[in-house]
Each structure stands twice: as structure tokens, then as C-alpha cells.
Structure 1
Amino acid sequence: MDQTLPASVDVLLTGMGPVGATAANLLGRLGLRTLVIDKETGIFMAPRAIVLDNEALRILQMAGLEEGAFATRAIAEVQMRSPLFGDYARANTSGQIDGHPQLVTFHQPELERVLRERLARHACVQTALGAELVDFTQDEQGVRATVRQADGALATVQSRFLVGADGASSFVRRHLGLGFEGKTFTQDWLVVDVRDPPVPLDRIEFSCDPSRPSPHMPAPGNRQRWEFMLHPGETRERMEHPDMIRALLAPWCDARDCVIERTAVYRFHARLVDRFSRGRVFLAGDAAHITPPFVGQGLVAGLRDVANLCWKLAWVAQGRAPLSMLDSYDAERRPHARAIINMARQMGALVMPRNRATALLVHGLMNLLHRFPLTRPVFEELKFKPSNRFRRGLFQRGRGGARLARGAPLPQGWLREAIGAPALPSDERLAGALSLVGFGCDPAARLDPSLLAAWRAAGGQTVALRHRGQAGLAAGALEDMSDTLVPGAAPVGWVAAVRPDCVVLHDGPLAGVDAMVRETLALLGRTAPAAAPLAHALTG
């Protein structure tokens, strides 16, 4: 890792945790000259994130991590257990969404190691460990940053954009003067990571005992994690003592029969920044929001941030879109981050009731609701989880009339080019590019030639999808082997404009593709050729 810092870059990224390292890979795949700095020289090994959902795995796929790049363990069930009502609620997390398991556990240090190793594939990305951002100013042209290097020397770096993925105590956020409002939970929690426990575990369990709530979950590498709520007056020193650890683990296993890998006491927070950006400076991950861990969405939210932001930075830096496009980052991400935080706080109230009376009321109500077919899916099928669909932002408002939702991700299916060819995830063709996707049709064949040229000049591609066995489309049409896209997402004869982060920009019937492309180009700040006069259109 070359410590001679470049004088200028497209993006200066501070913070190389999993969110920052994912952002660096995304920016590298998009071809942006990027400098990543982190004041630490190694990977932080204390217990932190342990859960990822299908959305997070899909984003890591976009960042270049193929299936198996790091170890995961699929979780088929989340069980809620009460001393008063027994197993009173469950969530079914088996199966897959968009080609990925709904819920997995993982080992964060391994994920960070893999993400850092993958940066070597991108010549446009440079890293500097032991380097710290100490000052920055910005103007209409960019950001001028002062970086203290590992040897203590100061260097000046000019960047078009600055991204702060520098954690909950973010220097970038504090230097911008942005508020970070929210709630700090009064309880501290002890996290214990154990390797080689004698009793296996195949699901996540929440022991919702008001005397001491304790989530318990398996992880790759024959690991298990316990989290124990501290009582008032219990200190970090007392709780991390080996005798206390042994006593806490006793209901499950003898601590002498396994390896205590790590212990740490944390105080959980729920906070959200006033704005995700100011000028040419952007916040991502814990620098922008902190989510209580009760639903495993903290790291996932940070990955959603950088998937949303990085392609927009690339488009603006490469002159393909106006600077104003970047306003959509805050508009799209902050409302969803707030919804996730609120959901985690509500789940926390279920996990850590303050007393037996509250536990009797809350757990009794959940136990009752879980018995009725109408209300059971709210928890069992995770219907309480806020959908990652934007209310406002960079997409055409309204509905096209198909099953697609504008401002929401396009489902991922499995495509093949020809009989006998291997099927690949559809994001391998769509992610990172602006796409005009035809469902059972070829949009390029119907689109006005001048509009097709304008679309391609904007960096757009056209993709024709055919359902399994469909004939009649031009060579190059991709066959949907999973029915996820055709006809699952849209009927034959439908077209959608899809962003590089696989979010639907616009959609409609093939007959209206010209108007749809004009409106999409306008959304992206591009000028479309004038429509042909009606008389010419009728006779041409």
C-alpha cells in the first residue's frame, strides 16, 4: 500500500471498516480515482456486526464479492422465548430472496479482510493506513483536505468529493457541524464470542427473560455469540471477568469446554444525522446513523448507503449527470434509515422488558397475535421490516401498471445467453450500468434511433429478456431461467429503465418507450432529441 499520497483524486474516502471498504470497491469498479485513508493500521478484532440480510449480500455482490468469497451461515429461524410463555413467536428466515439467503451470520474480520484484498484489483484505488483526516474545506470545485500520514507528515489532497465512513465519532460529521440526534439506551450489554462450543445451534434465539435478556446465535467457524444485558451497578470489569463469563454461559455450556474468543461491553445507541450530505461532502454508515442491534440492520444500512451513493458520485465526476443529482442521496436514504432505527427500537422493547409485568403484557400480546392467521405473518414473515422503497428521489413518480415499483430494487433472477450456457445472476449484467430492460421484448428495436443514440451517449445499455423457451427475439436476448423477471416482475411487452444500483427509475409498456426514455434522460439531467413532428411520424 503506497503511502505517497496523490495530489488530487475524484473521491477521498475516510474510514476503511466494512462500509468504507465496500464503498472503495464500488468506486473502483466504477473507475473513479479514489484515495481511502484510515487512522488504524489493522482490522478491528472486537465483536461487532454478525448478521447480514439478502439486501446486504446483494450489495456485496455488486462490490465484486462472489458467493463463497467469505464464510456465511444461513439462518432458517429466529425464535423468541419467554420464561412466562415459552416459545411465543418466531420469524421464518429460510429460503432466498434475489438469489441470496434471507438471513446469514458472518465473521466481520474475515469480511473486512476480503474487502481489503479485493481493492488490489482496482488500479484507480489507493489506500493509506495509519493516515488521518485532520482538516478540510470545500468550495464549488471540490474539497481540499489535510491528511496526517503514518509518519506524522501533513499532506494536502484535492478531491472532487469527500465521503466520511469514519464511524460513530465521525470527524467528518463533527467538522461539518451536523447534528446527531437520538437516544442512548440506559442498558449496557456484554457480547461474548465463543469458538468450538460443545452444543450446536441452528437458529437465532432471543431469551426474553426480564431478569437478563440474552440473544444467542451461531456464526461461521463453529462460533456462537451471546449478548447479556447488564443490571444497574454492574461494571465492565466485573462482567468481563472469567468467573462471570463462566456463570453467564452455564445454562448453555461449560466455558471450560470451549474457547472464549472475545468479550466486550457496549452501550447501544439510536442516532440519525440531520443531513447525509453538505455540499461535496457525504456521510455513510455509522457516521450518518447508528442502529440498535436487535434486528441486525446496522451494517446493512451502511451498505445501502454506499450502494446508493457511489454510482451517483461516478456519474457526476465523469460528467454524465449534474451535481444536483447528488441531492437524491439524502432524500432517498435518510427516511429509510430512520424507519430502520425505529423498528430496531421497537424490537428492543420486546427483547428487554424492564420488569415481569411489562414482559407479561408485551410477550402475552405477541403470543396471542402469533396464534391468528391474519396477524401471524407480521412477525413470522418479517412484514414489520420497512421496505427499501423510496418515497421521493431519483425516479419517475407514479406507477407504471405492472408489478414493478419505481424507486424500489428490481428483483434479481438467473439469466443465460444460450442453451447450455451457465446461468448467471442478473445483476452481473445490470449492476453498475444504466439499463433499458425489455421484458419479453427488445426495447432497442422499438426505440426511435435518435433516442437510442442519446441513451447510449448517456452511458445506457439495452437488455432484452425472454422468458424460458421464448422464441422470436433477436440474438443476444437473455433467457430468464428463474421466472423472476419474466414474467415474475413484469409481463411480456413491458420496459423498465434501471439505475446502476438496480433501482427502477421508470417503467411502462413497450408502446410508450420513446416517452419513457425522454423522461428518464430528463431525470438524469440529459437532453433528449426533440420529438419528431406528428406528420413526419405518421409518414416516416
Structure 2
Amino acid sequence: MEQSEPAPTPATEVAIVGFGPVGAAIANLLGRYGIETVVIDKSPDIFMAPRAIALDNEALRILQWVGLDETAFARIAIPVVRMRSPLLGEFGRVNTLGCIDGHPKLVTFHQPDLEAALRRALECHGHVRSMPGTELLGFTQDADGVVLQLRRGDGAPFTLRSRYLVGADGAASLVRRLIGERFDGATYAEDWLIVDAKHVPAPIDHVEFLCDHRRPTPHMVAPGGRERWEFMLARGESRQDFETDARIAELIRPWTGGRPVEIERRAVYRFHARAAKAFRRGHVFLAGDAAHVTPPFVGQGLVAGLRDAANLAWKLAFVLRGHAGEAILDSYDQERRPHAAAMIAFARFMGRLVMPTSAARALIVHGIMRLTRLIPPLRRHFEDLGVKPRNRFAAGLFRRSHHRCRLACGEILPQGLVRDETGSLRLSDDALGAGLVLIGFGTDAVFGLEREQQAALAAAGGSVAQVCFRGQHLHRAASGTVLEDLTGTLIPGAAPEGWVALVRPDRTILHQGPAAEIGRILAEGLALLSAPGPGMAEARKIAG
């Protein structure tokens, strides 16, 4: 009897392990480029208890790229973060009122709502499949990618071949352990009781840190009539004693007056400050909590994971579509790991303000903070979050320019409100699209390019845009997009008139300079991508 050939192993371009917000965001971003993607998660459903609670303007901008608008999930804009001491009163505050890049500086949200919105957004990407209830058993790497060993919810094993694998499977990441990656850092010695409640009688509208050395307590408002408290347990206190209804009622009595509230979640955690030694190993990448865990004192845990998603997804897509060479994937670790480490250090610094270990230490630390408020530059530096590490790169996938400009290479292009050629008002990221873009500020960049250069840009997944200042009426661009900057955010806010910038899909400046040097700027920028295709060969030829 003739034997039949074994069935071929199913294949995909990218496999993502972990269907939390970071994994779902990466899947959505890959979906924009039509990348065949499979998302795997052991859990069959969304975990419905609230966990992450804060997002900043950077995270909201990334979610905008994902396709989530202001109505996609509930959020509450936070006007101020207050730090209070029983000894000195309010010794510090952070002004979070207003917007940056078209989004509130700080919002709180309900994580199950966000995860549901991210999964709904995936429905419009036919190239993305989700497989909840599927467990990763192991994987092997070879020259062509990764072969995953999986198990369905019914217990049936199967294999899946993928060109790349992204581990977004949380702090206890199996993917990280299977590649043997270290997860260095520290675990705080203190236990914290997290209490999420609904229908609190006198809700607050902000975030406050009650920095009492006897029991530090962050407290914040959240959508759906929710509030959260985080109570630090003292040495010798038992977590079992603090998870009882009676003990929780006693702890939140100052805010409830003893009236009953609905307790949505209670859990005791220890906070961690850890990061992997490398975010890439061969065809495998780590993202979110699998790559780094940040203490919650600055609300940057999920935000950092979304930054990972924005940085990694377009690079994978450009490599898979032949717009760039595989070498650009090394820049993911090069760019993201230093910033993640800086944000962990910042969170630990803020933790020392929130949780002093003694009355004497509290008096000294909080007293110094209060004194700095008497010096206007120092007060503004702290209150306007000048101490927060900026999301800019010291090294990575960008070309250093000898030209001085308000916006440097390796930094993020601001976002503003623009009017397109149809008269519609849009945020500039939406108008510029998801690809590489060569922007002329107050000038039509196409007129400075030869036909071959335009072809090289198109081969690298790029397009051309012209940004005019408000009221400027330039002739219609020879090709590409024409946008009128209504707020001055881009011109002259980011760049002067007669300037050009080659901008990555994650809005990082790849290269920039005067419009007179546009050919060199384009060629040098495209050469960094180093794709093997004919368009990139032409770019290298142009670059000389």
C-alpha cells in the first residue's frame, strides 16, 4: 500500500504568544501591513479583573495607530497627580491637565475594556488569526524561523512554523525562559494590597499618593464609577488578614465613611523592577512584561509594552515585505532596552518618594521636595514631568545629522491637527499613513527628487508628504499628500520652512536636513534600511 505524504506543517509569518494588550497591539499593527499573524494564548477568554490602570499620551498615540479612537474604550483624563504627607501636607504635584500630540497627558482606564477593544479591532485584519485556549509547549529555531509545539484546548497537540516569534506572555514568560534569557533586577520586599471598588460615595477626580511612612497609599479614579487603592503592608502583617471584607472596609473607611461599596477586586502583590538582558534571540523577540517589569509608581508598565509594540511591529513588517533587510531588527533591542531601563529607574525613584521607610526619612525626603517647589525652574521641571525619561534614542536605526534643528534624528515627530486636500480635519499621524514618509516642511519634496529616487523611496514602502503652515497656499504637490498644519505643531514647531525629514512608521526621525540636500538625505536614510531588493540597490547607488 502506497504511503501518503505527511500533511505540511501550518505556517505563518509572525506568531505572537500572549493575547494581552501588548500582544493584541502588535497583532493589530502587523495587520495594517497585511502580515500573516497568529496570536496564541493559553487563556480562552479575557481576564476580567482590572490590572493596569494608567496610560499616557504616548500610549494613546500608539493605540491611535492600532485603530482605537476616543470612543473605542472608556477612559478618564486626570488633571493632576498629588503627593501628600501627613507631616508636611502637599509636598509635590504633577500637572497632567491638557494634551500632548493630540491626546490627554494621562488617563485611567479599565483593562478588560481595552483588551476587548483591541480584539474587536483585529476583526478588520483578515491576515490575523487569534487562537485563545492554545498552550505553548516549546519551540525550536532554525535558519528559516521557529517551529512551535502547541496544544489546543481539547488537548490535541500540533505544530506551527513561523518566520518570527514574539513573546508577549507576561512577567513569567515561557518564551523568555525557553530562550534562556536572564531577567535581572529586584523584587520589592513589601507586599501591597490592591483594592478596586465601584460606586464610592465621594469619588475623587484625580490621582493622589498618600505618602505616610506607616502605610503608603496610592489612590486613583477609574472609568465605570471605579476607584483603586494600593495599601502597603508593614513587616509582619499577613496578606490573608488584609484580604478580608472587614479589613478592606476598615482601610477604605476614610473615603467611604463606612458606607458599603462594591469590591471588584482584591489581590496582594509584590512589585518588581526587572529587565531581560536582551530583547532578541535569533528569530525570537520579547515584548511587554516578558521583556521588562516596571514598578507601578509612574503608571508606565503597559505604556512601555506599547512602545515595544510600536517599535517592533513595523520593523518585522518591513523585513517580511522586502522593504528592509533583517539587520534592522537588531535596532529593536538597541532602542528599546535603554529606555525601558531608564523608565524602571524613574519608577524606583518615584517609589522612594511614595514609600519612605521611617518618619525621619519621610521628613527629610518630602521636606526637600517641598523646598524645591520654592525654586520656579525646579518646580516646573518636576511638575511638568521634565524628570520623566524622554522616548528618544541615543543609538539605533537613524542617521545622525550635522544640521541643528528643533527635532533631532532619533526623536519622535510631534503630532498636530491638520487639514488635508479635501478640507477634512485629521490628526497628522492618520493623514501621513503607516509607511515611511519623506516630509517637506513648507516645500514640495518631490520637486527635489529624480525619478529614480522616487522609485527607491516607493520600493522601501515610502511616500512623500508636504506640510504647509496655516494659511499657506502652495501649489498642489506633484505627488503625495498635502497637509495644512493648523496648530503650528509641525511647522514651525518641529521643523523650519524649507526643511525635509525622512520619518519612520513609528514617527521616529530617520534623517533630516535642508530641502536643498534632499537627495543625499533620502539616499543615506534608505541605505540604513539595507533591503536586498532592486529599489534598495538603487538607493545605495544613489548614496554613492
Q: Normalised by the size of structure 2, how large is the TM-score? A: 0.95
Distance in 2, Cα, partners of 1:352 & 1:303: 27
Deviations 1:247-306 (A, max 9, x none): 100111145432111111111000000100001100000000000000000000000001
8 Å CA contact 1:49, 1:299 repeated in 2: yes
Deviations 1:108-157 (A, max 9, x none): 01000111111111110011111011111112211111111111111111
Give yes or no for the alignment of 1:157 onto 2:174.
no
Shift of 1:532: 11
Distance in 1, Cα, partners of 2:340 & 2:127: 30
Distance in 2, Cα, partners of 1:204 & 1:288: 28
Give yes or no for the alignment of 1:386 onto 2:369.
no
Say if 1:503 and 1:529 are closer, same or farther in 2 by CA, change over 3 A: closer
Shift of 1:6: 7.6
Distance in 2, Cα, partners of 1:161 & 1:477: 36
Deviations 1:17-73 (A, max 9, x none): 111111111111121100001000111123311000000000000111112211110
Residue in structure 2 matched with residue 522 of structure 1 by the alignment:
527
Residue in structure 1 matched with residue 4 of structure 2 by the alignment:
none
8 Å CA contact 1:277, 1:330 repeated in 2: yes
User: Is 15-24 or 45-54 further displaced after alignment?
Assistant: 45-54
Give yes or no for the alignment of 1:415 onto 2:398.
no
Give yes or no for the alignment of 1:498 onto 2:503.
yes
Which amino acid is 1:510 matched to?
Answer: A
Residue in structure 2 matched with residue 216 of structure 1 by the alignment:
219
8 Å CA contact 1:423, 1:481 repeated in 2: no
Give yes or no for the alignment of 1:240 onto 2:243.
yes
Give yes or no for the alignment of 1:103 onto 2:119.
no
Say if 1:217 and 1:411 are closer, same or farther in 2 by CA, change over 3 A: same
Residue in structure 2 matched with residue 337 of structure 1 by the alignment:
340
8 Å CA contact 1:441, 1:473 repeated in 2: no
User: Is 184-193 or 521-530 further displaced after alignment?
Assistant: 521-530
Shift of 1:440: 0.6
Which of the residues 118, 140, 144 maps onto 1:115? 118
Structure 2 SS opposite 1:25: helix
Shift of 1:389: 0.2
8 Å CA contact 1:130, 1:149 repeated in 2: yes
Distance in 2, Cα, partners of 1:398 & 1:42: 48
User: Is 141-150 or 50-59 further displaced after alignment?
Assistant: 141-150
Structure 1 SS opposite 2:389: coil
Gaps (5+ residues) in structure 2? 1-7, 531-535
Residue in structure 2 matched with residue 201 of structure 1 by the alignment:
204
Residue in structure 1 matched with residue 143 of structure 2 by the alignment:
140
8 Å CA contact 2:183, 2:277 repeated in 1: yes
8 Å CA contact 1:399, 1:405 repeated in 2: no
Residue in structure 1 matched with residue 471 of structure 2 by the alignment:
469
* Alignment of structure 1 residues 300-339 onto 2, 5 Å: 300-339=303-342
Shift of 1:398: 3.6
8 Å CA contact 1:391, 1:407 repeated in 2: yes
Which amino acid is 1:481 matched to?
Answer: L
Residue in structure 2 matched with residue 351 of structure 1 by the alignment:
354
Distance in 1, Cα, partners of 2:304 & 2:127: 26
Say if 1:353 and 1:151 are closer, same or farther in 2 by CA, change over 3 A: same
User: Is 350-359 or 398-407 further displaced after alignment?
Assistant: 398-407
Distance in 1, Cα, partners of 2:268 & 2:526: 51
Residue in structure 2 matched with residue 260 of structure 1 by the alignment:
263
Residue in structure 1 matched with residue 517 of structure 2 by the alignment:
512
Distance in 1, Cα, partners of 2:239 & 2:359: 25
Which amino acid is 1:523 matched to?
Answer: L
Shift of 1:431: 4.5
Give yes or no for the alignment of 1:62 onto 2:62.
no
Which of the residues 438, 441, 447 maps onto 2:440? 438
* Alignment of structure 1 residues 276-287 onto 2, 5 Å: 276-287=279-290
8 Å CA contact 1:9, 1:157 repeated in 2: yes
Which amino acid is 2:283 matched to?
Answer: R
User: Following superposition, which runs of at least 4 residues in structure 1 exceed 4 angstroms of deviation?
Assistant: none
Distance in 1, Cα, partners of 2:267 & 2:336: 30
Structure 2 SS opposite 1:473: coil
Distance in 1, Cα, partners of 2:543 & 2:175: 50
Say if 1:427 and 1:365 are closer, same or farther in 2 by CA, change over 3 A: same
Deviations 1:428-462 (A, max 9, x none): 12342000001011101111221112111221100
Residue in structure 1 matched with residue 533 of structure 2 by the alignment:
none
8 Å CA contact 1:437, 1:462 repeated in 2: yes
Deviations 1:298-341 (A, max 9, x none): 00000000100000001111122111110000000000000000
Give yes or no for the alignment of 1:189 onto 2:186.
no
Distance in 1, Cα, partners of 2:433 & 2:338: 24
Residue in structure 1 matched with residue 78 of structure 2 by the alignment:
75
Residue in structure 2 matched with residue 537 of structure 1 by the alignment:
none
Deviations 1:382-428 (A, max 9, x none): 01100000010000024532211211110001111247x22101111
8 Å CA contact 2:201, 2:259 repeated in 1: no
Shift of 1:88: 1.0
User: Is 155-164 or 228-237 further displaced after alignment?
Assistant: 228-237
Residue in structure 1 matched with residue 494 of structure 2 by the alignment:
489
8 Å CA contact 2:15, 2:37 repeated in 1: yes
Distance in 1, Cα, partners of 2:460 & 2:542: 18
Shift of 1:236: 2.1
Which of the residues 167, 172, 178 maps onto 2:170? 167
Paired residues, number: 529
Which amino acid is 1:444 matched to?
Answer: V
Structure 2 SS opposite 1:80: strand
Which amino acid is 2:172 matched to?
Answer: S
Which amino acid is 1:468 matched to?
Answer: R
Shift of 1:104: 0.4
8 Å CA contact 1:430, 1:500 repeated in 2: no
Structure 2 SS opposite 1:395: coil
Structure 2 SS opposite 1:117: helix
8 Å CA contact 1:187, 1:231 repeated in 2: yes
8 Å CA contact 1:167, 1:286 repeated in 2: yes
Structure 2 SS opposite 1:415: strand
Shift of 1:473: 2.8
Shift of 1:478: 1.2
Distance in 1, Cα, partners of 2:459 & 2:421: 28
Shift of 1:530: 3.7
Gaps (5+ residues) in structure 1? 534-540
Distance in 2, Cα, partners of 1:225 & 1:372: 33
- The CA RMSD over aligned residues, in Å, is 1.6
Distance in 1, Cα, partners of 2:400 & 2:128: 36
Residue in structure 2 matched with residue 479 of structure 1 by the alignment:
484
Residue in structure 2 matched with residue 271 of structure 1 by the alignment:
274
Distance in 1, Cα, partners of 2:540 & 2:310: 31
Say if 1:55 and 1:431 are closer, same or farther in 2 by CA, change over 3 A: farther
Distance in 2, Cα, partners of 1:429 & 1:508: 22
Residue in structure 1 matched with residue 429 of structure 2 by the alignment:
427
Distance in 1, Cα, partners of 2:71 & 2:126: 24
Identity across the alignment (%):
55
